[in-house]
């Protein structure tokens, strides 16, 4: 099975995402699909023996979406072009809208009512053809495959208001006027619906750009070119042209382009804070590993080779998508594209939401006719149009993925790599934490070297060395602070150690941990996790991902410590880069804030529909209130609801 993330072009709402996921799941050879509306990606697990990306692309093409499978296609460039085209459409649509509004409000005075209506008809038609054409094309494709999305609602509502207004333009007086019924045209509603929907999409795009800032920052860590040493000459080549075994030169202030091993006598001081979160530059000597994206601060060397020490060289080993940085980027992208459990419920609702709204609109139309008869036909049509417009499911589809994108991206900036949305959601439930001692809670000390005594008047002779300090491990920096923060969050901490009881007790006391187990084996750690789970606790295990693998696999949430080169991506659901244990309570706090944000977004998205659909249908009239949401205001509220959800998610950047 192959697991890969593809960009999907053309998705605009929760209905789009649900349809794309449904179609892909129905394709032969596809095991699982997770479609993310915010990132416009699909994480697909498929059998290469039964299907191919090209076949999946063809499947989606039939319903109007584009799966980007070609490596040479620049998705960012395509999205920039799409954004520019959308911005131009919005500007043109507002021009048409202002002209139609000026005519309908008599700001531009035309003596003949027929001429005024005919001019508005032309402007509205131009707006549909040049600005709203895509709504109709997409709605038609959906209809041909017995599905529906937001484009369906926009196309229906604008078409109904336009066609009804066209009828009134030419036959309004003869049909309605002859019956003594006042009649109007509603070209302004048709134009404003398209204008507000397009404006909402433009604002969404700008807001969603901020939710992806963490990924763009990670991608920006890798330089675009490298200095290749070839036959004694140094030439600049694109990063994509590098091969394993190439010798690469790096100068102070530049970033390491790919993973490799240091060659030569120079000593490089490299800032690896992007991997470990620790700002102190690390000395790298011959044979040491260097990682893509890290920063060369300065170079030193022997007196004889000072001239060669302005730069340092290393041999490329992992290039392209095989570098640690590329793995981290892929991991964050997949995590942002994954689905929280609550999203599956939203997806099921999205599949039936548009057809349900169409049903409500029809019921609204019939109800007005039953109440008022033939004379209420205009009111019935406007009410049905308002329902179709205001119920577009954009906000519902964006509620979860935008919060996840910001939360997981924020975690990556804090050197916390979260594998998927399920892990992020589970972290907030943790109330018991099991932590390994050696290498996780503690680190080894450096032995004190033997000392010798000499006198200045006698030849130097070695004497018996003093007893060296035995390698007496110590707590990692901030370990006690981290344990206190966890306990402050209401989490019970249990330390596991292979040491004898006296030593384990001393370390636990120093770390401020009340519960500990001594002389444990790997099986004992797993048994402790099972014991706590049997008590009804949600347990996270923190270890190094090797001898703690049994317990990590058993825990509700597994957390592995990493030092950059040994990223335990396949071992744990959460990986902490570096040794700072304070990232554990930070991760739990971030989980609580992110899930809280998801619930807020979903609450407002559903409340919006529950409140606004009845108002658009005209329910206030039942209670004697002569007030109703018109199609124009319905489109404005719909656009505002989508943008507000994205902006609310962006608050995580400031609060997390």
- pLDDT given at position 479: 93
Give the pair of three-digit tokens for residue 56.
């999946």
- pLDDT given at position 350: 77
Comparing 302-316, 424-438, 553-567, the range with the smallest average pLDDT is: 302-316
Mean pLDDT of all residues in the chain? 85
Beta strands in 201-348 (DSSP E): 225-230, 233-238, 247-250, 259-263, 267-271, 282-284, 289-290, 295-300, 312-318
Spatial contact of 411 and 418, defined as CB atoms under 8 Å apart: yes
Spatial contact of 477 and 466, defined as CB atoms under 8 Å apart: no
- pLDDT given at position 339: 75
Tell me the pLDDT band of 179, cut-offs 50, 70 and 90.
Answer: confident
Instruction: Express as a percent the part of the chain with pLDDT over 70.
Output: 92
Mean pLDDT of 373-399: 85
Q: Which residue has the higher pLDDT, 210 or 221?
A: 221
In this predicted structure, the answer to whether residue 641 has a pLDDT above a threshold of 70 is: yes
Q: Which residue has the higher pLDDT, 369 or 218?
A: 369
Give the full edge-to-edge strand order of the sheet including 282-284.
282-284, 267-271, 295-300
Please compute Rg for the chain using Cα positions.
32
Comparing 132-136, 179-183, 327-331, the range with the smallest average pLDDT is: 179-183
312-318/247-250 β-pairing: antiparallel
Q: Which residue has the higher pLDDT, 220 or 277?
A: 220
Distance separating alpha carbons of residues 656 and 593, to the nearest angstrom? 7
In this predicted structure, the answer to whether residue 88 has a pLDDT above a threshold of 90 is: yes
Residue 288 annotated as catalytic: no
Distance separating alpha carbons of residues 12 and 204, to the nearest angstrom? 10
Tell me the pLDDT band of 226, cut-offs 50, 70 and 90.
Answer: very high
Q: Could you read off the pLDDT of 111-131 as tens digits, one per residue?
A: 788 899 999 999 999 999 999
- pLDDT given at position 467: 33
Q: Which residue has the higher pLDDT, 282 or 570?
A: 282
Options 188, 246, 436, 579, the catalytic residue? 436
Distance separating alpha carbons of residues 224 and 239, to the nearest angstrom? 6
Tell me the pLDDT band of 372, cut-offs 50, 70 and 90.
Answer: confident
Residue 538 CB neighbours (<10 A): 18
Give the burial string for 162-186 (b: 16+ CB within 10 Å, else e).
bebbbebbeebeeebeeeeeebebb
Give the pair of three-digit tokens for residue 528.
């402790």
Distance separating alpha carbons of residues 124 and 167, to the nearest angstrom? 14
Tell me the pLDDT band of 570, cut-offs 50, 70 and 90.
Answer: low
The dihedral of CA 20, 23, 28, 29: what is its sign? positive
Q: Could you read off the pLDDT of 409-466 as tens digits, one per residue?
A: 888 888 898 888 888 889 999 999 999 998 889 888 755 455 444 444 444 444 433 3
């Amino acid at each position: 099975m192959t697991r890969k993330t593809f960009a999907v072009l053309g998705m605009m709402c929760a209905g789009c995402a649900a349809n794309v996921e449904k179609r892909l799941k129905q394709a032969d050879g596809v095991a699982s699909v997770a479609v993310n509306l915010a990132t416009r990606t699909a994480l697909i697990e498929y059998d290469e023996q039964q299907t191919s990306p090209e076949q999946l692309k063809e499947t989606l093409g039939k319903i109007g979406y584009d799966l980007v499978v070609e490596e040479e296609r620049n998705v960012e460039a395509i999205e920039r072009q799409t954004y520019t085209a959308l911005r131009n459409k919005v500007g043109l649509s507002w021009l048409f809208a202002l002209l139609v509004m000026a005519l309908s409000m008599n700001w531009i005075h035309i003596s003949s009512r027929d001429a005024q209506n005919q001019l508005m008809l032309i402007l509205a038609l131009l707006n549909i053809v040049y600005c709203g054409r895509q709504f109709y094309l997409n709605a038609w494709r959906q209809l041909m495959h017995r599905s529906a999305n937001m484009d369906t609602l926009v196309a229906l509502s604008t078409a109904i208001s336009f066609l009804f207004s066209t009828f009134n333009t030419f036959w309004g007086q003869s049909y309605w006027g002859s019956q003594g019924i006042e009649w109007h045209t509603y070209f302004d509603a048709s134009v404003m619906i398209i204008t507000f929907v397009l404006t909402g999409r433009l604002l969404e795009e700008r807001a969603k750009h901020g939710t992806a800032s963490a990924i763009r920052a990670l991608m920006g860590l890798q330089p675009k070119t490298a200095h290749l040493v070839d036959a004694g000459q140094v030439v600049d080549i694109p990063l994509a042209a590098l091969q394993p075994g190439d010798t690469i030169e790096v100068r102070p202030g530049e970033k390491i382009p790919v993973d490799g091993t240091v060659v030569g006598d120079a000593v490089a001081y490299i800032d690896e804070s992007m991997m470990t979160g620790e700002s102190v530059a690390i000395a790298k000597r011959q044979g040491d590993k260097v990682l893509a994206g890290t920063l060369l601060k300065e170079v030193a060397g022997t007196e004889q080779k000072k001239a060669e020490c302005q730069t340092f060289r290393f041999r490329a080993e992992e290039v392209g998508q095989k570098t640690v940085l590329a793995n981290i980027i892929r991991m964050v992208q997949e995590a942002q594209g994954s689905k929280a459990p609550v999203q599956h419920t939203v997806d099921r609702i999205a599949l039936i939401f548009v057809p349900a709204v169409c049903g409500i609109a029809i019921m609204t139309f019939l109800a007005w006719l039953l109440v008022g008869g033939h004379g209420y036909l205009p009111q019935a049509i406007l009410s049905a149009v308002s329902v179709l417009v205001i119920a577009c499911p954009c906000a519902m589809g964006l509620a979860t993925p935008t919060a996840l994108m910001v939360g997981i991206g924020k975690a990556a900036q804090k050197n916390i790599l979260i594998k998927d949305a399920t892990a992020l959601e589970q972290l907030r439930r943790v109330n018991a934490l099991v932590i390994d001692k050696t290498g996780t809670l503690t680190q080894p000390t450096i032995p004190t070297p033997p000392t010798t005594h000499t006198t200045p008047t006698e030849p130097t002779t070695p004497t018996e060395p003093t007893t060296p300090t035995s390698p007496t491990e110590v707590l990692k920096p901030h370990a006690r602070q981290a344990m206190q923060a966890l306990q402050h969050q209401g989490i019970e901490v249990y330390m596991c150690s292979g040491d004898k009881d006296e030593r384990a007790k001393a370390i636990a006391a120093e770390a401020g941990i009340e519960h500990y187990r001594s002389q444990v084996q790997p099986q004992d750690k797993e048994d402790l996790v099972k014991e706590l789970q049997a008590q009804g606790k949600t347990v996270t295990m923190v270890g190094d991902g090797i001898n703690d693998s049994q317990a990590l696999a058993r825990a509700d949430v597994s957390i592995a410590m990493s030092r950059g080169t040994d990223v335990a991506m396949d071992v744990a659901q959460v990986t902490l880069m570096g040794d700072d244990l304070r990232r554990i309570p930070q991760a739990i706090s971030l989980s609580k804030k992110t899930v809280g944000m998801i619930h807020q977004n979903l609450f407002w998205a559903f409340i919006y529909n529950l409140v606004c659909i009845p108002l658009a249908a005209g329910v206030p009239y039942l209670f004697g209130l002569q007030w109703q949401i018109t199609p124009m205001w319905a489109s404005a509220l719909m656009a505002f609801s989508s943008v507000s959800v994205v902006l609310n998610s962006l608050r995580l950047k400031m609060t997390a």
